[in-house]
Structures are given as structure tokens and as C-alpha cells.
Amino acid sequence: AMVFSEELPAKDKYSSPNYIYKYDLKINKLQHKEFKRNKESFQFTLVEVDVGNTRRVVCQCKDDEQYELWVTNVEKVLQRQMDLIIALTNPTAALQKDPRS
């Protein structure tokens, strides 16, 4: 799951910050094809699709570097998820495709 929270600053320099849970998105329910980019404002949308329920979360980055980091990492996670699904549904083909085997 991808957890979204609000950071509460540390009380002093020796303590750690606390976080208030806001919501989470299930990675296995995110749809890659729903990624949309608004480059001018460094926003992207994550879409969680469940039976009878669709949730969209607009994420705002402070700059292009942060935007690219987020999008690249989320795309990698979604690709690994897709690779796992393919491997589970067709193990023989997955083994032939895997360069480590």
C-alpha cells in the first residue's frame, strides 16, 4: 500500500517527527494507464480502481525533479507488479524471459 500522511514537526531536535495517517492506496488496484501529467504544475494523478469504487488522488510536487522521482518510482512498482502477475499466470514464459535463469 502507498500511505499518505501529514507530518507533525518534532518537538525538539532530539525527537522524531510524528505522522497523522490520512489514507492509503492499494498498489495492486492502481492503474498505470490512468497516469496523467500536468507538467506546468508538477501534478500527477493516481487512480485506485476497486469493484464499484474509483478513487483519484492528485499529487502535487514542488518541482520537476521531485515529479520525475515520484513518477519513475511509481512506474517501477507498477511494472514489477505486472511482471509478477505475468509470472504467476504463465511461469514458463516468465522463466524464459528472465535473464537470471
Task: Please say if the pLDDT value at position 4 is more than 90.
Answer: yes
Q: What is the pLDDT of residue 101?
A: 56
CATH number corresponding to 2-9+20-97: 2.30.29.30
Q: Say whether 89 sits in a helix, a strand or coil.
A: helix
More confident residue, 41 or 86: 86
pLDDT digits (tens, 9 = 90+) for 16-75: 999 999 999 998 898 765 566 666 788 888 989 998 999 988 888 899 899 889 989 998
Q: What is the pLDDT of residue 98?
A: 65
Residue with cell 515520484: 70
Domain boundaries, the chain: 2-9+20-97
